[in-house]
Amino acid sequence: MNALRNKVQLIGRLGQDPEIVNFTDGNKMAKFSLATDDSYKDKNGNKVERAYWHNIVVRGGLVSVVENYVTKGKEIAIEGKLTNRSYNDKDGTKRYVTEIVCNELLMLGK
């Protein structure tokens, strides 16, 4: 059962080109937003569609795949874990961010 703890799987499209962050130690990180779609029928029987946006972070060897092949609008499948972090913005206000740290990525579509 431990393999199922904190596991996220999503299929969606990139909202923008990935941002590649280069660190002083030579490591890289990729960040991008992923949109997933959902639809349901309201009480009147009308179809309602909604997009959900997810913040994705990629580290390690997958960064080169993202850097070279993943662009805005591409459909991908990712697997990872849900994480939370906080930081203080420029005004000193504490902000909270929920992200998915990706450990597997699959290119879909053409």
The CATH number linked to 30 is: 2.40.50.140
102: Cα separation from own chain's centroid: 7
Residue 108's pLDDT is: 92
Residue 89 has pLDDT above 80, yes or no: yes
When computed from its CA atoms, the radius of gyration of the chain, rounded to whole angstroms, is 16
Give the DSSP per-residue string, 3-22.
GGTT-EEEEEEESSPPEEEE
34: Cα separation from own chain's centroid: 5
Do 25 and 6 touch, CB atoms closer than 8 A? no
pLDDT tens sequence across 52-61 = 999 999 999 9
| Number of domains comprising the chain | 1
Residue 22 has pLDDT above 70, yes or no: yes
- The HSE-up count of residue 95 (CA atoms within 13 Å, CB side) is 8
Residue 4's pLDDT is: 74
Domain hosting residue 51, numbered range: 2-107
Residue 76's pLDDT is: 96
> Quick one: average pLDDT of 77-105?
95
Q: How confident is the model at residue 90 (pLDDT cuts 50, 70, 90)?
A: very high
Q: How confident is the model at residue 63 (pLDDT cuts 50, 70, 90)?
A: very high
Q: Closest by alpha carbon to 75, among 103, 104, 35?
A: 35
Residue 1 has pLDDT above 70, yes or no: no
